[in-house]
A and B are shown apart, each in its own frame.
Chain A
């Protein structure tokens, strides 16, 4: 069998917003930007807002990044045709895309707190959100995960968190609760407090 090689990545560059969030970039297209809302109507579970920024190795906030998240619904089901364990909340898309605030660079997602999803061996993972970051200067999109600091018990048995050698880096994967239903999650590309990125 002949395998093909994956197309090599190239940076999203400084103008990724033209292509992926054109309305944000001032180009009126498509009746709105994809991924701007994750809810089609009333959703099940705890509604939360996640806010944060992407920081470079000098501590500067990126103003030209694009963040995407993908997650299960409150019951732990993915809104995907490949989900075979049940039917996810029909009003929840599971997918969000944010260009960040044009003045502050802060990204925001109005979403729900995800339920638990099984790992490959069937054991439950802690509630988490898959995060993907692209920007000028990032040559291959960065994968990471956002967990929730207040899920202490579930985090303690999560199969991914358990295998992290440098335990002092685990907080880089944790969203901090700053108010009821509000979480803060910062991504540090390099240096002190560097986020753990995944090769998946």
Chain B
């Protein structure tokens, strides 16, 4: 039996209820969650093979575009590693991303922002990490946009990430923000995370060394999933 996964630090994650984010008020459980250690069902998970990926899955600039066309907006590469809490790269992790277009508009029937759709931008992509846990995708920098919460709330530019590690206990959805964006610190969704140090781990850094000259700038963003406990000692009751 494995040693189990390190407990989630629930003070580091946002609480279920954050009243400034109004939708959380009716969608947050009131009872405390039941705690128990991970077992086989949480320590296993589905496997996604590199062979399922299409050639353009990680290129949001062209994966929805008409032949010969490209999405509009500042061209960027987002790259980084998926690691576990023990600092090890997570190979074979499925990373799914989605985002608004350069004007801050999502391709979705419920979206009502007046900014126009980009006919060559779908807004989603996916990639599977390599043996060292590295991933990379190409996209356009999304725009900020207003949303119905407070009377004048705006989301900072962001990219949504859904990450599958090797165990269902590691399942995580989060968002990536862009270094230097003043909107980050005004956002009620970002503000659901109480610790500034935790928010800073979601801010991608501009990395000029990885920039492709005359083509695209690069942002670096690492994602950390839960790790296995490393102790060799289990608490055992006398006689068991």
Contacts and interface: CB of A to CB of B under 8 A. Distances in A.
A196 B162 contact: no
24 contacts: A3-B87, A6-B226, A7-B201, A8-B14, A8-B198, A10-B14, A10-B202, A11-B24, A19-B162, A29-B63, A64-B110, A80-B45, A132-B168, A136-B27, A137-B25, A139-B21, A139-B28, A140-B8, A141-B171, A160-B36, A163-B34, A189-B28, A198-B35, A199-B36
Contact of A198 (B34, B166, B230): B34
A200 B35 contact: yes
A190 interface: yes
B219 interface: no
A158 to B, nearest CB: 11
Contacts, number: 260
Contacts of B39: 117-120, 125
Given A6-B225, A78-B41, A117-B41, A200 B169 contact: yes
Interface residues of B, number: 87
Tell which of A17, A120, A136, A189 has the most Cβ of chain B within 10 Å: A120
Interface of A: 1-20, 22, 25-27, 29-31, 34, 56-58, 60, 62, 64, 68, 70-72, 78-83, 93-95, 117-120, 125, 128, 130, 132, 134-143, 160, 163-164, 169, 189-191, 194-200
B87 A4 contact: yes
B46 A79 contact: yes
B162 to A, nearest CB: 6
Contact of B98 (A18, A93, A119, A137): A18
B61 interface: no
Given A6-B225, A11-B189, A27 B124 contact: yes
Contacts of B16: 138-140
B204 to A, nearest CB: 12
A196 B41 contact: no
B87 A80 contact: no
A16 B98 CA distance: 8
Contacts of B193: 8, 10
B114 interface: no
Interface stretch (B65-73, B172-180, B210-218): B172-180
Given A3-B85, A6-B225, A10-B189, A141 B172 contact: yes
A7 B80 CA distance: 13
A14 B178 CA distance: 21
Contacts of A8: 12-14, 174, 193, 198-199, 201-202
